Structure 1
Amino acid sequence: MKKPNFKRQEWFRYKKLGEKWRKARGKTSKTRRYEKGKPAMPSVGYGSPKATRGLHPSGFKDILVCNIKELENLDPATQAGRISATVGKRKKAMMLDRAKELGIKILNKGI
């Protein structure tokens, strides 16, 4: 079951509030009191299974890599690489070629 997109209380009313979640703390807050028709509040029941918690949607563990040496240390069965933004175009192309040889999934190919 998909989790609701938790939004801040009265996010629709004032643009300055934004949509990012903040706990409702008001004395008479309808959201805090879980009244019908009001947005859902995050709670324990919405948690994801421990086995999949923190994983990339592809099912791999997301590992940030900055060079070829770090890329070669990845486990292709459980880990996927995300090439750092500080890596240049030429080295990124070299890393993509090496990842293909090793059978490692790269999450931000961009090509």
Structure 2
Amino acid sequence: MRALLRLRKRLKSRKPEFRRYCWDRKLKLRRKSWRKPRGLDNAMRMEYGGKWSGRKRVKVGFKSPLAVRGLHPSGYEDILVYTPKDLEKLDPKRQAVRIASCVGLRKRLEIEKKANEMGLKILNPSR
């Protein structure tokens, strides 16, 4: 598992930053996520012509290994928790707790106390 996490980190460092078409012309497109170019004569879609010839498009080969896909960088599965009751079903060896942002301070402290008793890792502990 650790070897696959290291491999994923190395693959992600080599992965290009996928920018959508015309991201440099419109300010609002710079923060947007990838969109597939669909125009009939779009040079980026056809992967040739001018500055679009060197741009990388999203393809299946940039995926992470299946065993570690979607895991937290620490290697745990990220589980969103709303109540202390949600902690009962979790496995401390494979899963870590992320407390939802809508949870208030009192309930957050209860969740943290119970998670520490169970030996669960908290990904966003209170300060």
Q: Structure 1: which 5+ runs fail to align? A: none
Work out the CA distance in 2 between the residues paired with 1:24 and 1:62: 32
Residues 1:4 and 2:4 are matched in the alignment: no
2:69 to 43, 53, 56: 53
Any idea what SS the aligned residue of 1:62 has?
strand
Q: Which residue of 1 aligns with 2:29?
A: 17
Any idea what SS the aligned residue of 2:116 has?
helix
Shift of 1:30: 2.5
Q: Which residue of 2 aligns with 1:91?
A: 107
Counterpart residue type for residue 102 of structure 1? M
Q: Which runs of 4+ in 1 moved over 4 A?
A: none
Alpha-carbon displacement from aligned partner over 1:67-103 (angstroms, at most 9, x marks no partner): 1121132101111111122221012112112211211
Work out the CA distance in 2 between the residues paired with 1:59 and 1:31: 36
Shift of 1:44: 1.2
Of stretches 29-38 and 54-63 in structure 1, the one that deviates more from structure 2 is 29-38
**Alpha carbon RMSD of aligned pairs, Å?**
1.8
Residues 1:32 and 2:9 are matched in the alignment: no
Shift of 1:34: 2.3
Q: Structure 2: which 5+ runs fail to align? A: 1-10
Q: TM-score, length-normalised on structure 1?
A: 0.86
Work out the CA distance in 2 between the residues paired with 1:110 and 1:8: 37
Q: Which residue of 2 aligns with 1:105?
A: 121
Q: TM-score, length-normalised on structure 2?
A: 0.76
Shift of 1:24: 1.2
Work out the CA distance in 1 between the residues paired with 2:28 and 2:121: 40
Of stretches 39-48 and 9-18 in structure 1, the one that deviates more from structure 2 is 9-18
Counterpart residue type for residue 51 of structure 1? A
